[in-house]
Amino acid sequence: MSPKSRRTELVKIRLTSEEKVLIQQRAASHNLRISAYLRHQGLNRHTPRRISEVALLTYEELGRIGKKLDQLATATDEPDLLEQLKQLIKQVRLEITGANF
């Protein structure tokens, strides 16, 4: 969507009470409003995964550790070992968020 575009179209759907509750719960689990959640689902976009504050802080700290490993890799005789550690950190970050930033 371009910066000047506005959402002006309205789509109405009929749901059972159970369906509405389920959609509300799923939207909340992704920390999205219902309309944003349904847009993501209907347009086949990746729905962001909700992560805890601790997981976010861990993700960020692992990123900093990865940068330090890059620095060490250039100054050491064991670059293969450091590369293995970097790959492990990338895998843990991916598992924490469910996405690759």
DSSP string of 34-47, one letter each residue: HHHHHHHHHTTPPP
In contact, 50 and 31? CB cutoff 8 Å: yes
Query: Is residue 48 predicted with pLDDT exceeding 80?
Result: no
Q: What is the pTM of this model?
A: 0.46
* Higher pLDDT among residues 87 and 81, named by residue: 87
Per-residue model confidence as pLDDT tens digits over 3-31: 568 989 999 999 999 999 999 998 888 88
CA distance 79 to 72: 8
Count the neighbouring beta carbons within 10 Å of the beta carbon of residue 29. Answer: 12
* Higher pLDDT among residues 81 and 65, named by residue: 65
